[in-house]
Each structure stands twice: as C-alpha cells, then as structure tokens.
C-alpha cells in the first residue's frame, strides 16, 4: 500500500504506484512516505557542495490580507532560500526539522547544489521531482528504492475529483509547525527570495 505523509490525505492511495517518468531535464516520481526521508538523505550525499535549501510556503494570514484585497484575488506563497550550506548542515536541518518538513501538507521544499543545479523538490502531496541535466545519473538511486520507469505516471492529482478531493494540512510536532521552523531558519540566514501567486 502506498503511504502518505501526516499532512496529506488522498482518496485512492491504492491507485498510486512507485514509478518514475523522465521529463525534459527532470525526473518525476512517486515514493511511499516511509522511504522518503532515507531517499532525501541519499540524494543529499550525492550532491556537490555548496548546497541550498528552498521552502515554498503559503503566506501567513496577516501577510496574505495585505496582498489579497478581494475574493477574486489569488492567494500567495513566499519562496525562501538558505544558501551556501554543506551536506552536514543540510542533514542537521533535516535532523532538527525533518519531521515537520516531510510531513507538512502546506509547504513544499527542495535541496539543490549551487554549481550543478541538481535539485530534489518535494511538491504538494509529496510528489517528487529531480531536476538535472543528466537523468541517467539518478537511475541507480531510483532503482535502489524500487522505483521503476513508466511511460505514463499516475500521480495523486490524477485520482482527485470534485466528489473525492485531496487534502493538505499543516502539521505540528513538539508545539512547532512549518512557520515556526522558517522563523528559526531565518536566524540561520534563510531569506525570502520572492512572493508568488498560487
């Protein structure tokens, strides 16, 4: 059975298979949640330093009210970066905050190498993309986790309907949520790169 994060609810997990599809300069895949943390760590260890962490997070209610002046206006997210990190620094962040980053349903995050641009990006509903120039580089890692190639990838988005939507929710561990994590990461040098419409 395909497992999902605490902050994610999908109507038909039995329809999701651990498969990948090659896109232009990217690989997109499904991975069952119990394997995700280990996969992320393996990916980090294969990157060349320095690294950066990116978090894509909906604006908090106070900030959103400033930008969203009517019901017809789109919602907004901020894209935050923490640059110039070593592998160990990123792994330490995962050790401290991984439970929230990996389980939270509202946020998206990625880890990438400054020089090569290779990036692992975990989208909403924990659909995962690897951005890279040479997709063959990551085929052994996908194989290690039992993720096989397919022509057409069925993702959680393909299973949703008006009657059976998915749900993404904020999670809290030890009285902390993703907004608390971001505030602590700002003290380490994380900054807002841009604000985007959702």
> How far is 119 from 136, CA to CA, in rounded Å?
14
Q: What averages of pLDDT result for each successive group of 10 residues across the chain (198 residues)?
A: 93 94 96 98 97 94 77 86 98 97 97 97 97 94 97 94 92 96 97 89
- Alpha helices per DSSP H over the chain: 33-45, 61-67, 87-103, 139-144, 178-186
> How far is 4 from 166, CA to CA, in rounded Å?
11
pLDDT score recorded for residue 138: 97
Instruction: Please give the order of strands across the beta sheet that includes 119-122.
Output: 148-149, 19-23, 26-29, 128-131, 119-122, 108-113, 51-58, 76-85, 191-197
pTM over cut 0.85 = yes
Q: Which residues pair with 78 in a beta bridge?
A: 57, 195
In sign, the C-alpha dihedral spanning 68, 70, 73, 74 is: positive
Q: Which residues contact 109 (CB under 8 A, 6 or more apart)?
A: 53, 54, 55, 56, 101, 121, 122
């Amino acid at each position: 059975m395909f497992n999902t994060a605490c902050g994610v609810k999908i109507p038909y997990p039995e329809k999701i298979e651990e498969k990948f599809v090659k896109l232009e300069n990217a690989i997109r895949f499904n991975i069952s949640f119990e394997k995700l943390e280990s996969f992320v760590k393996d990916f980090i260890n294969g990157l060349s330093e320095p690294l950066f962490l990116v978090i894509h997070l909906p604006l908090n209610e106070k900030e959103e009210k400033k930008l969203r002046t009517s019901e017809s206006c789109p919602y907004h997210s901020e894209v935050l970066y923490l640059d110039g990190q070593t592998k160990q620094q990123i792994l330490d962040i995962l050790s401290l905050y991984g439970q929230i980053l990996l389980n939270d349903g509202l946020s998206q995050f990625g880890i990438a190498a400054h020089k090569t641009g290779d990036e692992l990006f975990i989208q909403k509903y924990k659909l995962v993309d690897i951005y890279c120039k040479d997709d063959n580089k990551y085929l052994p890692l996908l194989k290690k986790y039992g993720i096989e190639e397919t022509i057409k990838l069925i993702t959680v988005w393909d299973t949703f309907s008006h009657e059976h939507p998915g749900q993404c929710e904020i999670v809290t561990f030890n009285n902390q949520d993703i907004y608390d994590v971001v505030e602590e990461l700002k003290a380490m040098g994380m900054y807002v790169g841009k604000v985007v419409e959702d």
